[in-house]
Amino acid sequence: MRAVDIIIKKRNSQELSKEEIVFFVQGFTDGSIPDYQASAWAMAVLLNGMTPQETTDLTMAMVNSGDILDLSSAVPLAVDKHSSGGVGDKTTLVVEPLVAACGLPVGKMSGRGLGFTGGTLDKMESIPGFRVNLTEDEFLSQLKDIGLVLAGQTAVLAPADGKFYALRDVSGTVDSIPLIASSIMSKKIAAGAQAIVLDVKIGLGAFMANQEEAKHLARFMVDIAHLAGRKAVALISDMNQPLGIAVGNILEVKEAIDTLKGRGPASFEEHCLDVAEQMLILGEAAADGGEAREKAEQAIKDGSAWQKFLELVKAQGGDISFVEDPVKFPKAAIVEVVTSPKTGYLSQIHARVVGETSVDLGAGRAKKGDQINHAVGIEILKEVGDHIKKGEDLFILHAADQKSFEQARDRLLQAHKWSDSPVERLPLVYDIIS
């Protein structure tokens, strides 16, 4: 078998066999197939696509390139979730303890922020002492003990995906639906997930610009899961405006705490309940949506979701005094309210611009290795569809210095657009793919 023959076959829009895909993935991972051939193959995939079976074979080849976490020794069934990324998306911080409090174990491996989207690990590391780097034994032991883990992914899980991801980034092949789907699902399956809820974002602050693209990606990922013997469902959700109020690490942790205590932003809590509902159904902890929603709402009302979050923080070495009394968290040097320059209905709050502005403030990374200022960020006080009067509070900026404050203020004002006539509110979820 030769790599060039596999490249030519895909160039000619022919379907690759499982053996050919495994050969190519193994060869690229061990170095026997060079970057230039892998780049040519990735471009052929981008241009000509893959069938669901090909994409599943690619996913499993990447899964089998490294260790596979077996969660069955700790729990009979664990559920996981994945978000395609967005601005102000602190859903994991609420949904994971919420679902675990309902009796369904959650073993989650998350990533860091890069570009204009925030990362779950960076948010949790805002809590002093919180450890995200766990050994496999620690991960399994904690999952068994408290039914909840939130950790970083290890390099030994799906190493082929890491190589392909780096290659796609510099070869113009990031935008391939089969390559995106196999990358996401290989990590989830390698991490031991038997049931996976996917939150695919669309809009101005998302990788997917429209519903058609998002549904295509969601369908591919759900099909991969089913063909690989896993259960999966995907929500197509909005990311035209930031999710919730807070954008920035400590600010988002505080908002997650408020939500777990039942006093978070209504739209953000609703989205968390939507995701939790699907996780509980998929994990067989509820018979239907009504029962799942009732369980999730009750876990917030009776405080069990909040207690589970405290258990998580304590189990991973975090100082729970900060989450019990959030005023202890450090504050940015400048915290200032910016008011609306005009009266009207908000027609747009450009999520990508908000995310990019938070990175400029220091809340995220422009490139790998950049240091994060956990205290800076933005609080977006209004939503699309709100009527606002001139002089009314529009957003709060948390900045490290006057220069970054002024730059962020000017850019965020441009991210807001007004209309003289009423504007329809944006939906939270557009569709569910199962």
Q: Which of 163, 187, 188, 215 is catalytic?
A: 187
Catalytic pick among 183, 237, 304, 340: 183
* 156 vs 342, higher pLDDT: 342
Instruction: Evaluate whether 129 touches 317 at the Cβ level (below 8 Å).
Output: yes
Confidence of residue 368 (pLDDT cuts 50, 70, 90): low
- pLDDT at residue 427 is higher than 80: yes
Instruction: Determine the average pLDDT of the residues in 55-70.
Output: 95
The answer to whether residue 115 scores a pLDDT higher than 80 is: no
Instruction: Report whether pLDDT(335) > 70.
Output: yes
Same domain for 169 and 215: yes
161 is catalytic: yes
| 171 in catalytic set | no
Q: Could you give the C-alpha distances from 72 to 76, 105, 144, 186, 191, in angstroms and in order?
A: 5, 11, 10, 18, 12
Domain check: are 176 and 282 in the same one?
yes
Share of the chain above pLDDT 90, in %: 86
Number of domains composing the chain: 3
pTM: 0.92
- Reply yes or no on whether 141 is catalytic: no
pLDDT at 250: 98
My answer on whether 11 and 91 are in the same domain is no
Pair 52, 78 in one domain: no
pLDDT at position 118, please?
Answer: 75
Residue 36 belongs to a domain with what CATH number?
Answer: 1.20.970.10
* Most confident of the following: 11-20, 66-75, 149-158, 177-186: 11-20
* Catalytic residue from among 80, 89, 122, 161: 161
Which residue is catalytic, options 10, 81, 123, 168? 168
Does 430 score more than 70 pLDDT?
Answer: yes
Rounded CA separation 304/311 (Å)? 10
Indicate if 297 and 179 belong to the same structural domain: yes
Can you say whether residue 43 is alpha, beta or left, with left for phi > 0 and alpha for psi between -120 and 50 degrees? Answer: alpha
| Amino acid in position 209 | A
Q: Is the pLDDT of residue 367 over 80?
A: no
Say whether both 196 and 289 belong to one domain.
Answer: yes
Strands 79-83 and 195-202: parallel
pLDDT score for 86: 87
Shared-domain flag, residues 177 and 259: yes
Q: What is the mean pLDDT of residues 111-116?
A: 71
Q: How confident is the model at residue 73 (pLDDT cuts 50, 70, 90)?
A: confident
Helix (H) and strand (E) counts for the chain?
Answer: 17, 13
Report the pLDDT value the prediction gives residue 114, as an integer from 0 to 100.
Answer: 63
Over residues 375-401, mean pLDDT: 98
Q: What is the mean pLDDT of residues 389-408?
A: 98
Question: In 3D, which of 412, 37, 45 has the Cα closest to residue 220?
Answer: 45
Q: Which two tokens stand for residue 247?
A: 């954008």
Instruction: Please tell me whether residues 96 and 166 are part of one structural domain.
Output: yes
226-248 pLDDT tens trace = 999 999 999 999 999 999 999 99
| Domain range enclosing 99 | 71-324
Answer whether residue 145 shows pLDDT above 90. yes
**Confidence check: pLDDT of 111 > 80:** no
pLDDT at position 31 is 96
Q: Would residue 82 show up in a list of annotated catalytic residues for this protein?
A: yes
To the query of whether residue 35 is one of the catalytic residues in this protein, the response is no
Q: Is the pLDDT of residue 369 over 90?
A: no
Residues 164 and 282 in one domain: yes
Q: How many residues does the chain have?
A: 434
82, 112, 231, 398: the active-site residue: 82
Question: End of a domain among 268, 294, 324?
Answer: 324
Is residue 278 domain-shared with residue 401, that is, in the same domain?
no
Q: What is the mean pLDDT of the chain?
A: 94
